[in-house]
Structure 1
Amino acid sequence: MADTMQFDLVAPERNLMSVPVREVRLPGADGDLAAMPGHTPAIVNLRPGLVTVVDDKGSEHEFAISGGFAEINNDSISLLAEIGRERSEMTQEVFDDMMRTAIRKKEAAEAREEKSGAAETAVAAAVKLLADMEALGSHIGLDPNSSSVPR
């Protein structure tokens, strides 16, 4: 078994990383997990959080994501993020934009529920998304209650 695997992190606006890695720690929707070479193949839904990548030299890299999914194979991981930024790029302004997106998703789910009366699980998922975004901001030292984000 090899001691590295190929890792690709892609967000809609750009390819964030493509390198051989020893380990990738992911914020899974059903719980955090680590993937290493030889991992059982899986597709994992991701929640907002930090992705930690340990490259082939042992250096750690962190990325904040707003969600997405990862396809894990025994020799590669492809992560498609809804929104993704290097941890060093996460300013209050960038985080506020991510929060506004989460709030819009919650409001849209509530509006659909109001119209149809049957979208309760979509509202619950949107509320959880917003809570996960707030937790991400708090974890990395940004204010989830910034005055520039309307509530």
Structure 2
Amino acid sequence: MPDPFKFELVSPEKLLFSGDVEQVLVPGAEGDMTIMAKHAPLITTLRPGLLEIDFPGGKRQRFFAQGGFAEVIPAGLTVLAETAIDLDEMDPSELAQSIKNAEEDVADLSGEAKDKAQMTLEHLRQVQSALGA
């Protein structure tokens, strides 16, 4: 059984979670990463994706996270997300609207901005696929 560590998930509106966890899957800009106790310190930006929290005892909670960053320090992990929605509370129409907005961005933009919008669109579609929506 992995050692528990301190984790906080914060959105602009409120503190969504603060407590001990066994591991957290973070949708980092360079790819997904699993953070466990005693992980090396790091800071990464977030891409749209699933943030999965594993608790002692086997419980798992999943959030859709978009924007922001994650910081690992010896005391634990903090994720500051621009958007963080508990998937148990997520309205599929919200995700569909985010995908529609990203499709419009891809159609309207050019150059590096279009490339970034295309990556966001692909990540949102991956989340939609993972949810079976």
What TM-score do the two structures reach when normalised by structure 1? 0.76
Amino acid at match of 1:128: M
Q: CA RMSD in A?
A: 2.1
Deviation of the 1:88 alpha carbon: 0.7
Q: What is the match of residue 148 of structure 1?
A: none
SS where residue 39 of structure 1 aligns? coil
8 Å contact from structure 1 (residues 66, 133) kept in 2: no
| Deviation digits for residues 31-82 of structure 1 (CA, Å, limit 9, x no counterpart) | 2111111111001122111111112343211111123211111331111112
Tell me, yes or no, if structure 1 residue 132 matches structure 2 residue 131: no
CA distance in 2, matches of 1:3, 1:67: 28
CA distance in 2, matches of 1:58, 1:92: 26
Unaligned runs of 5+ in 1: 114-119, 143-151
Tell me, yes or no, if structure 1 residue 75 matches structure 2 residue 66: no
CA distance in 2, matches of 1:136, 1:12: 22
CA distance in 2, matches of 1:84, 1:106: 23
The sequence identity of aligned pairs, in percent, is: 32
Number of residue pairs the alignment of both structures matches: 132
Greater fraction of residues in strand: 2
Higher Cα Rg, which structure: 1
SS where residue 22 of structure 2 aligns? strand
Deviation of the 1:20 alpha carbon: 0.9
The 1:105/1:79 distance shift into structure 2, 3 A limit, reads: farther
CA distance in 2, matches of 1:66, 1:126: 13
What TM-score do the two structures reach when normalised by structure 2? 0.85
The 1:107/1:69 distance shift into structure 2, 3 A limit, reads: farther
Q: What is the match of residue 23 of structure 1?
A: 23
8 Å contact from structure 1 (residues 4, 75) kept in 2: no
